[in-house]
Amino acid sequence: MTTTAPEAHAEVVTHSPVQDVVLPGGAGVLALVTLDNGKDHTRPTTFGPESVAGLQETFDSLRARAEAGEIQAAAVTGKPFVFAVGADLSGVPTVTDRAQALEIARAGHRAFATFADLPVPTFAFVNGAAMGGGVELALSATYRTVSAGVPAFALPETFLGLLPGWGGCWLLPRLVGPEHALTVIAANPLSQNRMLPAKDVARLGIADVLLEPADFLEDSLRWAAAVLTGEVSVDRAPVDLDDAQAWDAACDAARKNALAKTAGRSPGVLRAIDLVRAARTSDREEAFAAEDEALGDLVMSDELRAGLYAFDLVQKRAKRPAGAPDKALARPVTKVGVVGAGLMASQLALLFARRLGVPVVMTDLDEERVTTGVESVHREVEALLEKRRVSPDQASFLTRAVTGSTSKDGFADADLVIEAVFEEMSVKQQVFAEVEAVVSPECVLMTNTSSLSVTEMASRLEHPERVVGFHFFNPVAVMPLLEIVPGERTDEATLATAFATGKALRKTCIRSKDTASFVVNRLLGRFMGEYSRIVDEGTPVEVADRAVAGLAPMPPFVLLGLVGPAIALHNSETLHRAFGDRFHVSPTLRRVVEAGKRGYYLTDERGRPVPDPEVEAMREQPAEPVVLEVDEVRERVLGAIAEEVGIMLADGVVEAPMDIDLAMITGAGFQFWNGGIIPLLDREGVTERVLGRRVLPRGVASVLA
Amino acid sequence: MPRELQEVVFVDGVRTPFGKAGEKGMYAQTRADDLVVKCVRELLRRHPELPKERVEEVAIAATTQIGDQGLTLGRLTGLLSGLPKSTPGYSIDRMCAGAMTAVTNVSSSIGVGAIDVAVAGGVEHMGRHPMGEGVDPNPRIVAERLVDESALVMGRTAENLHDRFPELTKERCDAFAVGSQRKLAAAYEAGHVQPDLVPVATRHVEKGWGLATVDEPPRPGTTLEELATLRTPFRPHGNVTAGNAAGLNDGATACLLASQAAADELGLPVRMRLVSYAFVGVEPEVMGIGPVPATEKALAKAGLTIEDIGLFELNEAFAVQVLSFLDHFGIADDDERVNPWGGAIATGHPLASSGVRLMTQLARHFEAHPEVRYGLTAMCIGIGMGGAVIWENPQHADYGKDA
């Protein structure tokens, strides 16, 4: 990916050939349509304009044949492992005119409606992954079977800032009721884009029957024949279109949840909920027209373009980290050492053992700490076993793979040693010197420091070229991001080993320059610092929160509780030391840390954050309070972030602006509809104002005007 | 502890429709293992009275055991068919008699009491795995003249059979082939064949999914005149043609076998009882004669004579080798006890799968002919062998009594 504007995209066309099947039991002839783009399952079937035109042609011919009495039923199914994963969105960046967007919406509606309106019963045999337009095509059929082998079934559009616009917002609520429909259309996409497993597709009533994968298509045809002959009757839970109250209540609940998740900054999901609300009373024509208009608006929205940009980062750029050396240079890792046996060290030990399948030795200063660390790993393995995330044999392996010692002798045959000790330069230098005395000259030394200089940490070693920063985010098992930080003297083999290891750990790796707090903590530090400064100067938290809503996954002070006040303070102090006053160190935060508080909030009985009165009492009380309005806060906070982005890019902290966004999405939970952060700064004119230029050209993560 | 032998019964058998091998065949893009899995699934679907964990063996034959016919196909077939992991499996190769050998092998296991219920079957996707794919014949075979080079080409062994028995003319072979086509067409017409065919979803990138429900090779209405015009690819001015031999085909079969005791316990239907079997080697150059000594041996083991056999299911690899069998035993070319629904010349012969097709059909014939007590399934085998299995009809009045 480059930062240049998008070019026209060649569609991978999904064809829709038809074969006639003579159904058993005298049920007649079924025309079986296969959706197939001619590629294997790694390139799932999608619907671009040419594919949709082909579907239209196929369904038109089925209509003629049905009217001529040649076929008694029609069905669609997919190539092996894939039903269809929806509209081909790769062409969206080239759409510059709302009329184009509207036509995409209308063409899909026309084709699917032609299928739905065939004068014979229609079936969808959902044999594999089904998403978006694929699901909507299935919903257009009279009946649906689903294979128990289907791994993912979803309407993920609102996750990207779009909505199910080929009938989904009308068909689904009328099939399964508004509550289930909104789970699929709104709640799941906003919960890390959750997908339905096959059994839930049947349980929610979206599919009429769940069939085993071994002979799914044969069984589906048998079932279709039985339905046609009346041998099987399809009973569905009725949907009450007259109960306006219940219908609206479901929509209200979904809206509330969506607002809580997006702060109203992602228009797609709210439009989708509105369409589901209207589905109770609208007829198909009205509903589809409303979907067309909504799609027209959303496709032309910068939020969707940012969502697609973010999706592309996570799906593609994350798999090919920028600035990674040739992977052939990477050394094999057959044993890992972890210095330290604290909480972070234990998490690292388990992750390495689990993902690399190698022995891991943890060391610490005394027996007690070692025992505590190893026990903590064992407890975690036990928990994984209980949740069936690992098998008993795997649990047995992991339990034995992670061992502890007070001596570093066990590192002698390790290929990689990572330190997770106290965040102080002299301590880390000392630790590395001790490790170097034991290990081979090629053994890679990694530091999980979040802010210290890798170059300085390596400077006193005999082999400084083997040291590399390997910065995880907490909780290690959950957060996808890994910042990989070469020091000045780090060699290519070490760096390649770091990237290969990061990939094996299934992390999203970003290369960062060796500067204070690297990428995420630096930008987050600037954000939190500016926010805290504004609050410390007298603006109420509620006002400040409204200003930054929809930026991070939660309000800054709630996030601070999750990170831990001490760590946040340490980060802000480091940054302040390195870069000066543009990074604010909050006196309130310092007092909170000194008081040993774990955050600014307590949680009420329903798990919601409520301000801690003791913290309230510690708050900075400015002599002359400056109370800003919401807009002013937003301008200042976004302005500060934009300034920092500009400095980081100028200093070459990352390889490209996209890496900042990818890092903020995967390391700080920043939002897709903001494209992480830079597309938001560009579209609100902040970069223009602060840096005098957009960072990403128009069309990359915004509509090409 | 003295060993007690168990009676072995044939519970049920099914097959896929057979396809023509090659790019244009209906299974061109369908996997071989998937074909046999569909058969096992059908057996399990038909017999809900059989708990899956009671299946104690899956023996699957394939001549070319590589690719989708490799990797211990019998074991994988069990896993892919949804049998429990505790059900073992293995692969078998005795060329054309693979499935027949799968049946006799698991029957022997049942007989000695090692197991009680087993699946046996075979598959050959000759489109994906042409005969001789990847073979590396030992150079000693030629150097020491262990066999004539013609022995490795089945069509040439059939021509050799014509040399040995000049009375087996091309005209007789063509007439037999016409009869085979006619009988299969009649059986289809009467709906005899279809009940034991498993519909198979056929995958094709350009054409999309289809459903195979009938055999692809048959040429109903074939005439002697048409056959007379065909080429003789194995010898200039020879006798063997595509019309009087089985073709190159894709297909799979599977059947359920059980001890009599297990069948009684579980309520499994008893369609046939295994009486005896034999495999015998012959000169590889005339492998088609193999069923003759194999049948003689199986009859001897059973204490029966050819006159006791009321129904024959003989694999029609080549018309000439079936006729050599019939001549030997003094049976007319058009005897109605022989291959009542036609044979491989019409249905096709996906090598290792065919044995179970013979048995499945014999079981159906037994139901229609309670007056017949014994039936024979027999086939010739490449590299010079024959196989024969004799079965008893449970419908017969004297079933279970000493012969």
Contact of B306 with chain A, judged by CB distance below 8 Å, is answered with no
- Residue boundaries of the structural domains of chain A: 18-300, 327-511, 520-596+624-652
Cα dist from A569 to A453, A458, A522, A590, whole Å: 18, 25, 12, 7
Q: What is the mean pLDDT of residues A173-200?
A: 96
Residue B361 reports pLDDT greater than 50: yes
CA distance A193 to A216: 27
pLDDT of residue A320: 94
Dihedral sign from CA coordinates of B292, B293, B298, B299: positive
Contacts of A218 in chain B (CB under 8 A): 38, 198-201, 211
CA distance B284 to B306: 25
CB contact under 8 A, B208 and A32: yes
Q: Give pTM, 2 decimals.
A: 0.92
Residue showing tokens 């992602």: A266
Correct CATH for A327-511 of 3.30.360.10, 3.40.50.700, 3.40.50.720, 3.40.50.2300: 3.40.50.720
CA distance B403 to B399: 9
Across the interface, of A22, A80, A215, the residue whose CB is closest to B213 is A22
pLDDT of residue B339: 98
* Residue of B26, B35, B207, B211 best to disrupt the A interface, most CBs of A under 10 A: B211
Contact of B210 with chain A, judged by CB distance below 8 Å, is answered with yes
pLDDT over 90 percentage in chain B: 94
A172: three-class secondary structure by DSSP: helix
Across the interface, of B80, B198, B209, the residue whose CB is closest to A34 is B209
A609: three-class secondary structure by DSSP: strand
In Å, how far is B34's CA from the nearest CA of chain A?
8
pLDDT of residue A10: 85
Closest of B339, B318, B310, B79 to residue B183, by C-alpha = B339
Residue A125 reports pLDDT greater than 80: yes
In Å, how far is B148's CA from the nearest CA of chain A?
45
Closest of B36, B348, B25, B24 to residue B184, by C-alpha = B348
CA distance A449 to A485: 10
CA distance B183 to B246: 15
CB contact under 8 A, B211 and A33: no
Closest of A129, A119, A118, A127 to residue A155, by C-alpha = A129
Active site residues of B: 96, 349, 380
Q: How confident is the model at residue A1 (pLDDT cuts 50, 70, 90)?
A: very low
Q: How confident is the model at residue A118 (pLDDT cuts 50, 70, 90)?
A: very high
Question: What does the pLDDT look like over A637-691, one tens digit per residue?
Answer: 999 999 999 999 999 999 999 999 999 999 999 999 899 999 999 999 999 999 9
Across the interface, of A32, A77, A214, the residue whose CB is closest to B80 is A214
B278: three-class secondary structure by DSSP: strand
Evaluate whether A451 touches A423 at the Cβ level (below 8 Å).
yes
Evaluate whether A681 touches A638 at the Cβ level (below 8 Å).
yes
CB contact under 8 A, B41 and A19: no
CA distance A239 to A648: 55
> What are the counts of helices (DSSP H) followed by strands (DSSP E) for chain A?
29, 19
Evaluate whether B123 touches B32 at the Cβ level (below 8 Å).
yes
CA distance A107 to A105: 6
The per-residue pLDDT of chain A, averaged, comes to: 95
> Bridge-partner residues for A447, per DSSP?
A419, A469
**Closest residue of B to A216, CA-based?**
B201
Question: What does the pLDDT look like over A314-371, one tens digit per residue?
Answer: 999 999 999 999 999 999 999 999 999 999 999 999 999 999 999 999 999 999 999 9
pLDDT of residue A6: 53
Question: What does the pLDDT look like over B148-199, one tens digit per residue?
Answer: 888 989 999 999 999 999 999 999 999 999 999 999 999 999 999 999 999 9
Residue showing tokens 């884009």: A193
CB contact under 8 A, A217 and B201: yes
Which pairs count as long-range contacts for A280-288, CB under 8 Å and 24+ apart, including other chains? A280/A173, A280/A178, A280/A241, A280/A244, A280/A247, A281/A241, A282/A170, A284/A113, A284/A170, A287/A167, A287/A169, A287/A170, A288/A109, A288/A113, A288/A167, A288/A170
Question: What does the pLDDT look like over A561-583, one tens digit per residue?
Answer: 888 999 999 999 999 999 999 99
In Å, how far is B55's CA from the nearest CA of chain A?
18
Give the 3-state secondary structure percentages of chain B, helix then strand then coil, rounded to 5: 35, 20, 40
CB contact under 8 A, A32 and B199: no
Residue B401 reports pLDDT greater than 90: no
Across the interface, of A36, A215, A217, the residue whose CB is closest to B205 is A36
Q: Which two tokens stand for residue B381?
A: 């085998």
Q: Which residues of A touch B (CB under 8 A)?
A: 15-19, 21-22, 24, 32-34, 36, 38, 77, 79-80, 212, 214-215, 217-218, 221-222
Closest of A698, A582, A574, A602 to residue A643, by C-alpha = A582
pLDDT of residue A550: 87
Contacts of A22 in chain B (CB under 8 A): 211, 213
Q: How confident is the model at residue A8 (pLDDT cuts 50, 70, 90)?
A: low
Cis status, amide bond into A475, omega within 30 of 0: yes
Contact of B79 with chain A, judged by CB distance below 8 Å, is answered with no
Cα dist from A112 to A167, A185, A422, A642, whole Å: 8, 19, 61, 45
A35: three-class secondary structure by DSSP: strand
CB contact under 8 A, A214 and B81: yes
Residue A32 reports pLDDT greater than 90: yes
Across the interface, of A22, A33, A221, the residue whose CB is closest to B208 is A33
In Å, how far is B12's CA from the nearest CA of chain A?
19
Contacts of B203 in chain A (CB under 8 A): 79-80
Q: Which CATH class is domain A18-300?
A: alpha beta
Q: Is A304 exposed, middle or buried, given 0-12, 13-18 or 19+ CB atoms closer than 10 A?
A: buried
Question: What does the pLDDT look like over A387-413, one tens digit per residue?
Answer: 999 999 999 999 999 999 999 999 999
Residue B403 reports pLDDT greater than 70: no
CB contact under 8 A, A221 and B211: yes
A698: three-class secondary structure by DSSP: coil
Dihedral sign from CA coordinates of B355, B357, B358, B362: positive
Contacts of A82 in chain B (CB under 8 A): none
Asked if the A520-596+624-652 domain carries CATH number 1.10.1040.50, the reply is: yes
